[in-house]
Structure 1
Amino acid sequence: MNGSDRGLSRRAFVRSAVAIGGASALSACLQREDVEDVPQASLAPDELPSRQHAWNDFLSTDDHGNVEPPEHHLLLALEYVGDGPAAADGERERLEAAFRTLERAYERGNGGLAFAVGYGPAYFDRFEDDLPDGVDLPDPEALAPIEDPQLDEYDALVHLASDYGHVTLSAEEALKGEIEELNGLEVEASFDGIFDVAERRTGFIGPGLPAERQSGVSGIPDSEPVPEDAPLFMGFKSGFRQTQASEDRVTIRDGPFAGGTTIHLSKIDLHLHQWYEQDSREQRVAKMFSPAHAEEDLVEGVGDNLGDSSRVAEVGGSAAEDARSEGTVGHAQKAARAREDGEPIILRRDFDSTDDDRASVHFLSLQRSIADFVKTRRAMTGTDLTEGSVGSRTNNGILQYISVRNRANYLVPPRSRRALPEPNPA
């Protein structure tokens, strides 16, 4: 982390450090970022919402009311150290103490820390009891004929997010039991001896961040075409308020996991040479939004002018008709078909990545049931639209520019059951 880092901007340096991880990366981040600007929590853990996924009220918003996600993201895929059912010898109490340490050390939100923990089917398979009726947590599977992903079988997932790279790294080191103090507070407990970190994935989202990371990355042309103000590698804004499900909509309503949700996590590689070097801007707009967006020149720059909506429901027209008559159908146009009562059914918290020096997306979505994600993903794939002029992938949204490498499903319990939950607690 020295010598070659001298020419990096502070933000690019911090992202590189988060990707590397470990004590040396944390030390480097602490020297580059304003540590004193990160507040301790103003609310005690017991005063926080019962929902782990209740982030939106604590996150920043733009002028249109769109939630602005934290810049830095860290995913820790965990494997339980024991052989049988989890939660032996006080493990549940130690793990809960570790999570409460994070909640006391940092204010919840962009300027502090937002986090959540989920558990996969492999974790619940350790128990004799089944998950209760109404909790939909199937094993992950390929969701389209064109994909052959690795299906993750990790026991648990921790998602850490902050505008400060050193916060995500410090939280990681505290959870692993590698540091004794976290933002001025004693680290009470860790998951050391309970979980091992099997894999770590990192990423970022926000205006200008992808452009700073595009140089020398597989999947992006050497001409470095990503717009300087784009929040994502594909050059357009996403996460419009009206295209996102509410946190209420994605919350499990009944049973012992009421107040929880589910996570679907995909790792998706990007292939953007044609996107930027052969497709015109008009074609990119049509494929990302809809042909009408391109024809009417509705998208300025990265799309900030659209406000709190992609406007697909307003002007997008029929995906099936555009597939037949225009030979092109937009990604957002297809996804909008999965709405129920006019409302989206998944809440996206995805972000870009350069893990393995490859341009990619960690597509993380929240939904009441995994079936909601499957329904949305199949609408995005648009297999029913591939007859005729659209073909199997060409001009079918953004399918030809992405390939799914991994899929995983997790149950995110309410905070009261987030530490080694039983599958059907009383």
Structure 2
Amino acid sequence: MSDGPSRGIDRRAFMKSALAIGGASALSACLDRTSDEDVPRGTTETDPSSLPERQHAWNDALARDDAGNPEPVQHRLLLLLDYDGDGAPSDADRRTVADALDALERAYAWRHDGLLSTMAYSPAYFDRFETDLPESVDLPAPTALASFEDPALDTPDAILHLASDHAHVLLAVEQALTGETDALNGVSVDATLTDVFSVAQRRTGFKGDGHPADNQDARGVPTSKPVPDDAPLYMGFKSGYTETQASEDRVTIESGPFAGGTTQHASHMRLNLEQWYEQDDREARVGKMFCPYHAEHDVVEGAGDNLGTDAAMSKAKPAAEAAETDGFVGHSQKMFGLREDGRPLILRRDFDSTDGGHAGLHFVCYQRAISEFVATREAMNGDDLAGDSPLGRRDNNGILQYIDVANRGNYLVPPRSLRALPTPRGDA
């Protein structure tokens, strides 16, 4: 049995809660309701080359909606990891990490209903080495990116992003990586990440139609005006339209020892959904998420499944013009001004969460250089649009007033062949 949407609201909420709690008891409870029977086995034992060298190459492994947009993977787990050794990692530790990650891909197919992952490393990790990263890698330490935010700056050595349509797969993988089980989906697991790392923090979440509505028992969610039943995200609208995302080619590092890799930003944002749903009516929410044109002309049906592959953003006027004539600008409208060959610079794989008991968003994105994410965030801030218009730093300025950035972290995602404790120069 699948633990996807077809199994009903109670089941989805249960799986989300089990993943958020974690541990052997949560896995056992999940397995009482499901099994690995429908989870495809990996193929790397017979054909290791079947997996892409780009860890971030997920798109071909995702389901598609009626318009051809990639569907989000429903359940997510982020493990922030601290290396237990002193100084630069040893070759023995490197083999252990490689074996632990390889076991996951023998156990589960590289696809949305199996398991997808990226293993990435922070600037703090590379500070362990005497040599620096090459100029082809833009990986600064994280920092606050707006005058009105004061986030905690994450500095683990590594971060493992795990995604599956089956919550119990992520729980089982976590148990295997921490040495609590020695088999996954019938495949033996002989090495664990916790032989090398300590888990500094775990973050969990979900994305997809109905999941936010099933998880409204969190702070920041209004009881008087609940999240729409069909919404894939807490704020009520679809995201991830093909043409509002960078391609995987565009975010890939092109040269140097980490060619085929990418950079990753991961931030945690708390959402003020009480203000979003109780202060604003649907027309205002559509205008602030997309643009004033979409609100005025009733362009968005439901969560936005009717908007094709580009969210119909070609209808939007330039953000500066909207700020002057309409008195507010939409979030997507601001992003539309920062594009290359008609598409953004970053590839988002964000998801909602109730970590800490509060409705939130884990904003995970990939880009060739962290500077491109910084430029994207500056466009979202819209400081250049305010001027003499009614826009403030946050009011009438997209969705800024409804989010609070709690954490930020920057990482390098090496190509698959270098994902086990890489050196700054990509040495074997």
Partner of 1:251: 252
Report how far residue 35 of structure 1 moved. Answer: 2.2
Partner of 2:293: 292
1:114 equivalent in alignment to 2:136:
no
Partners in 1 of 2:312 and 2:381 — Cα distance? 20
Residues 346-374 of structure 1, C-alpha deviations (whole Å, 9 max, x = no match): 00000000011100000000000001101
What's the secondary structure of 1:250's corresponding residue?
coil
Report how far residue 394 of structure 1 moved. Answer: 1.1
Partners in 2 of 1:365 and 1:334 — Cα distance? 18
Aligned 1:256-335 pairs, distance under 5 A: 256-312=257-313, 314-335=314-335
Partner of 1:336: 336
Q: Which amino acid aligns with 1:100?
A: D
Residues 145-180 of structure 1, C-alpha deviations (whole Å, 9 max, x = no match): 110100001100000000001101111111112111
Report how far residue 8 of structure 1 moved. Answer: 7.2
Partners in 1 of 2:91 and 2:136 — Cα distance? 30
What's the secondary structure of 2:306's corresponding residue?
helix
1:24 equivalent in alignment to 2:25:
yes
Aligned 1:145-156 pairs, distance under 5 A: 145-156=147-158
Partners in 2 of 1:32 and 1:252 — Cα distance? 42
Aligned 1:4-43 pairs, distance under 5 A: 9-43=10-44
Partners in 2 of 1:176 and 1:152 — Cα distance? 21
Q: Which amino acid aligns with 1:391?
A: G
What's the secondary structure of 1:390's corresponding residue?
coil
Report how far residue 385 of structure 1 moved. Answer: 1.0
Identity %: 59
Partner of 1:354: 354
Partner of 2:3: none
Partners in 2 of 1:45 and 1:21 — Cα distance? 30
Q: Which amino acid aligns with 1:113?
A: L
Partners in 2 of 1:79 and 1:42 — Cα distance? 30
Residues 196-233 of structure 1, C-alpha deviations (whole Å, 9 max, x = no match): 00000000000000000013x11111225200000000
Residues 366-397 of structure 1, C-alpha deviations (whole Å, 9 max, x = no match): 00000110111110110111222112211100
1:63 equivalent in alignment to 2:66:
yes
Residues 17-55 of structure 1, C-alpha deviations (whole Å, 9 max, x = no match): 000011111111111124211110134333211111111
Q: Which amino acid aligns with 2:207?
A: I
Residues 124-157 of structure 1, C-alpha deviations (whole Å, 9 max, x = no match): 0000000011100000000011101000011000
What's the secondary structure of 1:363's corresponding residue?
strand
Report how far residue 286 of structure 1 moved. Answer: 0.5
Does the Cα contact within 8 Å between 1:121 and 1:138 map onto a contact in 2?
A: yes
1:82 equivalent in alignment to 2:85:
yes
Give 5+ residue unaligned stretches, structure 1. Answer: 1-6
Residue 46 of structure 1: which of 32, 49, 52 is its match?
49
Does the Cα contact within 8 Å between 2:318 and 2:337 map onto a contact in 1?
A: no
Partner of 1:128: 130
Does the Cα contact within 8 Å between 1:214 and 1:224 map onto a contact in 2?
A: no
Q: Which amino acid aligns with 1:367?
A: Q
Partners in 1 of 2:18 and 2:111 — Cα distance? 21
Partner of 2:4: none
Residue 177 of structure 2: which of 155, 175, 178 is its match?
175
Q: More displaced, 113-122 or 217-226?
A: 217-226
Does the Cα contact within 8 Å between 2:43 and 2:50 map onto a contact in 1?
A: no
Partner of 2:207: 205
Does the Cα contact within 8 Å between 2:183 and 2:189 map onto a contact in 1?
A: yes
1:91 equivalent in alignment to 2:93:
yes
Does the Cα contact within 8 Å between 1:252 and 1:259 map onto a contact in 2?
A: yes
1:380 equivalent in alignment to 2:380:
yes
Q: TM-score, normalised by structure 1?
A: 0.96
What's the secondary structure of 2:195's corresponding residue?
coil
What's the secondary structure of 2:395's corresponding residue?
coil
Partner of 1:366: 366
Partner of 1:219: 220
Partners in 2 of 1:162 and 1:211 — Cα distance? 20
Give 5+ residue unaligned stretches, structure 2. Answer: 1-7
Residue 104 of structure 2: which of 94, 102, 116 is its match?
102
Partners in 2 of 1:254 and 1:413 — Cα distance? 12
Does the Cα contact within 8 Å between 1:121 and 1:409 map onto a contact in 2?
A: yes
Q: TM-score, normalised by structure 2?
A: 0.96
Aligned 1:153-172 pairs, distance under 5 A: 153-172=155-174
Does the Cα contact within 8 Å between 2:381 and 2:393 map onto a contact in 1?
A: no
Q: Which amino acid aligns with 1:112?
A: G
Partners in 1 of 2:356 and 2:48 — Cα distance? 36
Partners in 1 of 2:310 and 2:240 — Cα distance? 9
Partners in 1 of 2:48 and 2:106 — Cα distance? 7
Partner of 1:138: 140
Does the Cα contact within 8 Å between 1:14 and 1:32 map onto a contact in 2?
A: no
Partner of 2:411: 410
Q: Which amino acid aligns with 2:363?
A: F
What's the secondary structure of 1:192's corresponding residue?
helix
Partners in 2 of 1:224 and 1:419 — Cα distance? 47
Q: Which amino acid aligns with 1:60?
A: A
Residues 66-121 of structure 1, C-alpha deviations (whole Å, 9 max, x = no match): 111210000000000011111x2511111111111000100111110001100000
Does the Cα contact within 8 Å between 2:252 and 2:261 map onto a contact in 1?
A: yes
Partners in 1 of 2:380 and 2:336 — Cα distance? 8
Partners in 2 of 1:91 and 1:229 — Cα distance? 45
Report how far residue 340 of structure 1 moved. Answer: 1.7
Q: Which amino acid aligns with 1:244?
A: Q
Partners in 2 of 1:51 and 1:356 — Cα distance? 32
Partners in 2 of 1:192 and 1:408 — Cα distance? 21
What's the secondary structure of 2:379's corresponding residue?
helix
Partner of 1:3: none
What's the secondary structure of 2:321's corresponding residue?
helix
